């Protein structure tokens, strides 16, 4: 029986990138245990970025596009920051989304659909939207039914 061939760091990186987009810091974290040195890892990441196979902005845009229909800007911003995307890239990606108020209304309509009957139901609706990453101002406007002005 043959021993399994050890995969190179480049092969591991390409394998991960063919499955989905990754942020630079996220890919570095996944590859670090397999790299002989941090310099080798940085060289590979620089090469992948130069060849446009690795892009934080592309990752952020993809992530925001997929999750913006269900989550608010605060949650999206936190998720992207957690994987190492810089604030400027996050801001650029969030600019391309629909209006946060309309997204919050859509999420609220899908989950609840009718105004809260009492204070407890209203609090439940507020908590739900807050957990989805919408700001308190947006939540108040959705629950009051104010037009976007």
Domain boundaries, the chain: 7-54, 55-97, 100-144
149 has a pLDDT exceeding 80: no
Share of the chain above pLDDT 90, in %: 85
Per-residue pLDDT band for 6 (boundaries 50, 70, 90) equals: low
Condensed to tens digits (0 to 9), the pLDDT of residues 66-110 reads: 999 999 999 999 999 999 999 999 999 999 888 999 999 999 999
Domains 7-54 and 55-97 share a fold: yes
Q: What is the CATH number of domain 7-54?
A: 1.10.10.10
* Angle, vertex CA 140, rays to CA 135 and CA 142, nearest 5: 95
pLDDT of 42? 96
Residue 2 burial (C-beta neighbours within 10 Å; 0-12, 13-18, 19+): exposed
CATH number of 55-97: 1.10.10
């Amino acid at each position: 029986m043959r021993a399994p061939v050890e995969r190179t760091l480049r092969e591991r990186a390409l394998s991960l990138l063919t499955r989905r987009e990754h942020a630079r810091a996220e890919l570095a974290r996944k590859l670090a245990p397999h790299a002989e040195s941090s310099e080798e890892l940085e060289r590979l990441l620089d090469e992948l970025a130069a060849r446009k196979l690795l892009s934080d902005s592309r990752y952020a845009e993809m992530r925001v596009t997929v999750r913006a229909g269900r989550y608010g800007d605060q949650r999206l911003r936190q998720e992207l920051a957690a994987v190492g995307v810089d604030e400027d890239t996050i801001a650029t990606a969030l600019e391309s989304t629909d209006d946060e108020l309309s997204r919050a209304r859509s999420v609220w309509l899908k989950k609840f659909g009718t105004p809260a009957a009492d204070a407890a139901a209203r609090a439940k609706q507020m908590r739900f939207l807050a957990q989805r990453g919408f700001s308190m101002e947006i939540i108040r406007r959705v629950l009051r039914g104010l037009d976007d002005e």
